[in-house]
A = this chain, B = another copy of it.
Amino acid sequence: MAQQRETVRRTPLSRKRVLSAAVVLADESGVESLSMRKLAQELGVVPMALYKHVANKEELLDGMVDVIVGEIDTGASGEGWKSAVRQRVLAARQILLRHPWARRVIESRTNKSPVVLEYMDSMIGMFQAGGFSVDLTHHVMHAMGSRMWGFTQEVFDDSANATAEISPTMLHAMAEKYPHVMEIAMRADHDDDSVVGQGCDDQFEFEFALDLLLDGFERLHEQGWTSTGRR
């Protein structure tokens, strides 16, 4: 009784527990509202306790990325580089979709963790195994860019979503000012009767872009690409 104090002994913190809780919190309320203090509160602990397990908030974010990237199913498929890469990227997308904040965080990390490096390494390996030259692989990885994580490039489609809550007057004014944007926004979900649907099929758009890239890679590879002229 004197020994055990008045509270039940907490399961002790650990880096892993801290990171998992952080991921959950970010999933629930967005990474921008994740703070060391809230995270500590969630874990029933004083804020400074976290610093015994992560050096600072940056390292916390690094660790969160590792947790996510570690979730990606890395099981090989083994029927040609193209379908292997495709499958891998779609698997990544599956995970990343469940953690919408991860896109921004991954892109903001300047130093790659071992987990991230390993992911990239195995993806490079897929192209190499398909017979791509080192140079071509290099450029191809650049061309993939963040699509290699399964990210959709969000830059475009929000405008469509936004129109859903805009007055007809406003909508009309916009149609005059940005005719092309509106035309596309209207068309985005034309099998729906409402003025503007809830945006477009993200999965389709993603695969469209991914396949476009992969087909391009294939074509270059087949015609024995070498860095023509340049350097």
Residues of A within 8 A of B (CB): 104, 106-108, 110-112, 114, 117-118, 120-122, 124-125, 128, 134-135, 137-139, 141-149, 152-159, 162, 174, 177-181, 183-184, 187-188, 191, 200-201, 204-205, 208-209, 212-213, 215-217, 220, 230-231
Contact = CB atoms under 8 A, between A and B. Distances in A.
Nearest to A134: B187
Given A134-B183, A205-B139, A231-B201, A153 B146 contact: yes
A204 B143 CA distance: 11
Contacts of A141: 156, 184
Nearest to A155: B146
B121 A178 contact: yes
A124 B181 contact: yes
A200 B142 CA distance: 10
Given A121-B178, A209-B142, A231-B191, A137 B216 contact: no
Contacts of A121: 177-181
A107 to B, nearest CB: 6
